[in-house]
Amino acid sequence: MNQQTLILIKPDGLKKSLTGNILTRLSETKLEIIAAKMVKVSKELAEEHYKHLRDKPFFEELIKYITGELHDRKKVLAMVYWGEDAITKVREIAGATNPEEANPVSIRGQYGRITTKGIYENVIHASTNEEDAEREIKLWFSPEDIIMDLYPVKVIILEKVQKKIWV
């Protein structure tokens, strides 16, 4: 079954110049990239993305991590991968959450580390299941950023919307 999944190259992945390596590893899945953009991650976006972890002791540090405060890289590369069993294929190649427990040849096993504060800096995010993928893709992308309508859309006419355009 065709699925879509959200992938983020986290600030540590960018800082370590791993974008190319990670994309090469992900290309082993033969999935299609159907959306990609650099995103400056606000605290609000970070807290919404990780809201299921709000009660964890590491939550505050996790927000600092994903917003780029720990790496002086206030951005992530957000992408949507699409194709047969996309969620499982990407999770497999990404590896376990804890980089020490991850398969050594997975992306997290190869490139992740645990900080002295105990945060798993595991270089990428990948959606866990279809429900999470839908919530996360809708959070990070608007329909026009994605080259196919993954979920139902509606067209609305906006008036007096402030928008930057090229001069």
Q: Give the CB-nearest residue to ligand UDP.
A: 97
Backbone φ and ψ of 78, nearest 5°: -100, 135
Residue 3: half-sphere exposure toward Cβ, Cα within 13 Å: 22
The distance of closest approach from Cβ of residue 35 to ligand UDP in the complex, given in angstroms and rounded to an integer, is: 20
Can 125 be counted among the known catalytic residues? yes
Which residue's CB is nearer to ligand UDP, number 85 or number 132? 132
Query: Which of 49, 52, 71, 125 is an active site residue?
Result: 125
**Residue 23 DSSP code:** H
Q: How far is the CB of 167 from ligand UDP (least distance, A)?
A: 40
Q: Which is nearer to Mg ion, 64 or 135 (CB)?
A: 135
- Residue 123 carries which side chain, given as an amino acid letter? V
Give the one entry of ligand UDP, Mg ion, none that residue 120 binds, where binding means its C-beta sits below a cut-off of 5 to 8 angstroms depending on kind.
Answer: ligand UDP
| 90 CB-near residues (< 8 Å, 6+ apart) | 5, 7, 26, 29, 31, 81, 126, 127
Residue 82 or 120 having the CB closest to ligand UDP: 120
Interface ranges with ligand UDP (CB under 6 A): 53, 58, 62, 97, 119-120, 122, 125, 128
In the complex, the smallest distance separating the C-beta of residue 152 from ligand UDP, rounded to whole angstroms, is 26
Is beta strand 76-84 parallel, antiparallel or unpaired with respect to 2-9? antiparallel
Nearer to ligand UDP, 131 or 144 (CB): 131
Q: Which residues bind Mg ion (CB under 5 A)?
A: 128
Decide which of Mg ion, ligand UDP, none touches 97; Cβ closer than 5 to 8 Å per partner kind: ligand UDP
Secondary structure of 85-144 as H, E, C letters: CHHHHHHHHHCCCCCCCCCCCCHHHHHCEECCCCCEECCEEECCCHHHHHHHHHHHCCHH
Residue 59: what residue type?
F
Which of ligand UDP, Mg ion, none does residue 110 bind (CB under 5 to 8 Å by kind)?
A: none
Please identify every residue annotated as catalytic: 125
